[in-house]
């Protein structure tokens, strides 16, 4: 009998992760995930059967490379090599053109979006399964169309795309693929609160994006590598 597949989901207590993790558990995965906000961890624990035999939840600041490396090592020691690493850590801050963006905002966007993707990917690669493995990163539609007023975010997400392409190229001789998703603004309570006058009717739902990740997190997705996958539906922002 084959061993259960293993998925590591940094930032898995966010809106997309809370939709993704039940899908993976239903497929028999063992999962290790991280959180920063205790209330998000509590929501995940309430939404799934919290059993450490199949689900580890740890508080980890993904900006801290040592904390990320320790988490990845614990997950590998507990469950074995990873079949999936989906890095869902990220955040948005807008309202500033380049000339108005201070270093604090720039550093925050680079840390929260690019550095977290870098740290989690770098720390996961040594633990990826030799049988089959998938690295999935969260880019953004805005990395491509670069709307005004959020340059720091656009730049950070562009870096995530470059990271995904680089990793896909570096791992061509392995059974590991790496791809990035391109959502627009995701329809969550937080984004609706941040953009109260926006038309959110066509924004992608977290569960719709989770379904796409669930497919990428499978052996069947092996022909997709180094891709930037649009998951913005009919949204125009």
Could you give phi then psi for residue 189, rounded to 5 degrees?
Answer: -60, -40
pLDDT score at 1: 44
Query: What size, in residues, is the chain?
Result: 237
pLDDT score at 159: 98
pLDDT score at 65: 98
Residue 19, token pair as written in the block: 């939709």
What per-residue string of b and e applies to 77-88 under the rule 16 or more CB within 10 Å gives b? eebebbbbbbbb
The model's pLDDT over 143-159, given as tens digits with 9 standing for 90+, comes to 999 888 899 999 999 99
- Dist. CA 87–CA 125, nearest whole Å: 12
Residue 147 within any structural domain of the chain: yes
The model's pLDDT over 41-98, given as tens digits with 9 standing for 90+, comes to 998 988 887 677 999 999 999 999 999 999 999 999 999 999 999 999 998 877 688 9
Q: Could you tell me the pLDDT band of residue 198, with boundaries at 50, 70 and 90?
A: low
- Dist. CA 212–CA 218, nearest whole Å: 11
Q: Could you tell me the pLDDT band of residue 199, with boundaries at 50, 70 and 90?
A: low
Higher pLDDT, residue 172 or 190: 172
On whether the CB atoms of residues 40 and 14 are closer than 8 A, the answer is yes
Task: Concatenate the DSSP letters of all residues of 30-46 into one string.
Answer: EEEEEESSHHHHHHHHH
Residue 235 within any structural domain of the chain: no
For residues 127-150, average pLDDT: 94
Residue 1 within any structural domain of the chain: no
Q: Cα dihedral sign for 41, 43, 44, 45? A: positive
Q: What is the CATH number of the domain that holds 21?
A: 3.40.50.720
On whether the CB atoms of residues 160 and 138 are closer than 8 A, the answer is yes
pLDDT score at 76: 98
Residue 96 within any structural domain of the chain: yes
Residue 73 within any structural domain of the chain: yes
Q: What is the reported pTM?
A: 0.93
Into how many domains does the chain fold?
1
Q: Cα dihedral sign for 100, 119, 204, 194? A: negative
The model's pLDDT over 5-33, given as tens digits with 9 standing for 90+, comes to 999 999 999 999 999 999 999 999 999 99
On whether the CB atoms of residues 55 and 21 are closer than 8 A, the answer is yes
> Domain containing 30: what range?
6-230
């Amino acid at each position: 009998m084959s061993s259960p597949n293993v998925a590591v989901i940094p930032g898995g207590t966010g809106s997309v992760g809370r939709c993704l993790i039940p899908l993976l558990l239903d497929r028999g995965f063992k999962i290790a995930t991280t959180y920063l906000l205790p209330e998000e961890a509590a929501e995940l624990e309430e939404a799934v059967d919290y059993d450490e035999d199949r689900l580890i939840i740890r508080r980890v600041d993904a900006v801290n490379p040592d904390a990320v490396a320790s988490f990845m090592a614990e997950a590998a020691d507990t469950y074995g090599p990873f079949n999936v690493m989906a890095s869902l850590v990220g955040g948005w801050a807008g309202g500033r053109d380049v000339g108005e963006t201070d270093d604090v905002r720039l550093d925050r966007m680079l840390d929260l979006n690019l550095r977290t993707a870098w740290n989690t990917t770098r720390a996961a690669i040594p633990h990826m399964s030799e049988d089959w493995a998938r690295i999935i990163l969260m880019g953004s539609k805005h990395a491509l169309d670069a709307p005004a007023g959020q340059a720091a975010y656009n730049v950070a997400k562009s870096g995530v795309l470059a990271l995904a392409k680089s990793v896909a190229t570096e791992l061509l001789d392995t059974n590991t693929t790496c791809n990035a998703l391109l959502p627009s603004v995701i329809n969550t309570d937080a984004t609706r609160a941040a953009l109260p006058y926006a038309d959110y009717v066509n924004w992608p739902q977290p569960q719709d994006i989770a379904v796409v990740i669930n497919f990428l997190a499978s052996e069947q997705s092996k022909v997709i590598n180094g891709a930037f996958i649009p998951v913005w539906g009919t949204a125009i922002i």
